[in-house]
Each structure stands twice: as structure tokens, then as C-alpha cells.
Amino acid sequence: MSDLYYDLETKELLDLTLEDQASAIRSLHFSIGVTWCECHKEQIFYRADAMSEHVLAHDRMIGFSCKQFDNAVLAYNYFLARADMPPPKQEKPRAPKKIDKFEIPPSAEELKRLFDGRTFDLQIDLENRVGYRLALNALAQGTLRREKQGTAALAVIWYRLAAQLKQKYAYALREANDSEGADRAQELGAYYQQRLETYCATDVQLVRQLFEYGAQNRRVFYLDFDDERHNVKVDWR
């Protein structure tokens, strides 16, 4: 079985005060995604359609809090990205895109269901065992003695800074004949882009290491709010 670990970031922060979280998640825009699998190693994606096609070439998708969040963002953004593509030159209708023996389903709801059917969500599995939702950081600290590097809010800020500096300000400065300033804006934008990519890739590695630890040791650990370490038995394979 080919396993793929994945995580993605969005251009906007999810508003947790909204009552309808599912629809709030559907409206978020994909910024970047990272996957890791034995067969392709680490891959970074800038488009949801390319990432969707890559993940579907694998039998199982392993993530953290990914069923409700990542799978919805990926499925809805797949169709946004496709709609952005230039229209095909030929007149005849395009055949549905085939992934191995699969066709990409015609709607985002169905695509999300396809992802969900292949997904093993570590947060949901652990919630079923302990009765509440654990944070990835609490598990990374308890099990791997490592900490998450950033936050979802920082990822949104890094994305915006990178996009604005590189696309808007570098261009504007160059137009105004400040080429040194334009180079600086470009460099700083690249720096924030790198922070964003590293953050996302690190979370993918944490999920992978957490899963591998659990599969090997039949348990994982988390730190509670008092920094006490607790163990959870798992039967991951």
C-alpha cells in the first residue's frame, strides 16, 4: 500500500466564530501544499489541481485534522484551479481526467468524498480513543520531543507578505526605477515564501514521524496543559 502524508495552507485564516464551519472551510483559498511519500519523497504544490492528482495516485492519505479541513480545501480548490485554466483549443469536449483507473469526480463534494475514503486522520482516530481533540503540537512535544514551528495565522501572514512583496511591490519599485529596492522586495518575498514552505513541510514530517512512532510502539504521547505526559494506545499500521 502506498501511503502519502500531506498538509496544506490557505490564503485566509479560518474564522472559528462562524457557525457553519464546513462552509467557511469551503470558501478558503489554497496557498501551498506539501506531500511526502516513499515513492516521490517531498513534493511542494502551488496549485490544488496538481496536488489533488498527485495524492490520488496513492492508496492512502495520512494527515492531521485533514478530513474536515484539508480535504475540503483541496476538493473545492481543485475546481477553482481548473476553472482558471485557459480553455482547450480543440472544439470537442475534454474527456474527464483519468488518474490510474479513476476519473476525477464532477463535483467538489464527490471529490472530497473520494479523498475522505482514502484518508486516515490521526486527530479523529485519537479523538475516538481519548474523547477529545488533541493538538498536533501536544503530540509532537509528548511523542517526538519536538515542537511545531509556526501557526496557521503565521502561515497566512507569510503567504500575504510573499505574494505582495514579489508580485506587487517588486514590480511597482521596478516601474518607478528603484531596481535595488525591487531586488530587496523580491528577496524578502522569497524569504517569507521559504518560511511558509518550511512550516508546511515540517508539519508533514511531524505527522509522518508521529504515525511511524505509533505504528512501531503501539502508543503515542501528548502533553496536557500542565505539561504532564499521557500515553494513548493505538493500533496504527
- Which stretches of the chain bind Zn ion, using CB under 5 A? 37, 39-40
The CB-of-134 to Zn ion minimum distance in angstroms stands at 28
The CB-of-219 to Zn ion minimum distance in angstroms stands at 28
The CB-of-58 to Zn ion minimum distance in angstroms stands at 6
The CB-of-61 to Zn ion minimum distance in angstroms stands at 11
Handedness of CA 17, 19, 22, 26 (dihedral sign): negative
In whole angstroms, give the CA distance from residue 163 to residue 18: 27
Q: How many angstroms separate the most distant Cα atoms in the chain?
A: 64
Q: In terms of CB distance, is 6 or 192 closer to Zn ion? A: 6
DSSP track, 81-100:
HHHHSPPPSSSSPPPPPEET
The CB-of-164 to Zn ion minimum distance in angstroms stands at 33
Q: In terms of CB distance, is 37 or 74 closer to Zn ion? A: 37
Q: In terms of CB distance, is 40 or 113 closer to Zn ion? A: 40
Q: Mapping DSSP to helix (H, G, I), strand (E, B) and coil, where does residue 104 land?
A: coil
Q: In terms of CB distance, is 8 or 37 closer to Zn ion? A: 37
Q: In terms of CB distance, is 10 or 43 closer to Zn ion? A: 43
Any long-range contacts for 225-234 (C-beta under 8 Å, 24+ apart)?
229/142, 230/142, 232/126, 232/129, 232/130, 233/129, 234/125, 234/126, 234/129
The CB-of-8 to Zn ion minimum distance in angstroms stands at 17
The C-alpha angle with vertex 231 and arms to 225 and 235, in degrees rounded to 5, equals 135
Q: In terms of CB distance, is 37 or 61 closer to Zn ion? A: 37
The C-alpha angle with vertex 30 and arms to 107 and 110, in degrees rounded to 5, equals 15
